[in-house]
Amino acid sequence: MAEIKAIYEEQKHRYGYRRITVELRPRGLLINHKKVQRLMNKMKLFGIVSKRWHKYNSYRST
């Protein structure tokens, strides 16, 4: 849990569970992404979601 928190702080609260899982592998920790997600939820750590994925556009040309 300390390693997850350290990566989260290093990346300025931007990384979510997927990127943290990838970052743990070079550090020698093989942990399933679901386990990382559960631990992050328990510690109330959430990555920043990009606004570009939540854009809705209902343009109809005439």
Q: What is the pTM of this model?
A: 0.75
CA–CA separation, 61 and 48 (whole Å): 34
From residue 30, alpha-carbon distances to 21, 27, 57 in Å are 8, 9, 40
What are the DSSP calls for 9-30, one per residue? HHTTT---HHHHHHHHTTTT--
Q: Contact 43/55 with Cβ under 8 angstroms?
A: no
Task: Please tell me the predicted confidence (pLDDT) of residue 62.
Answer: 63
pLDDT digits (tens, 9 = 90+) for 15-37: 999 999 999 999 999 999 999 99
- Higher pLDDT, residue 52 or 12: 12
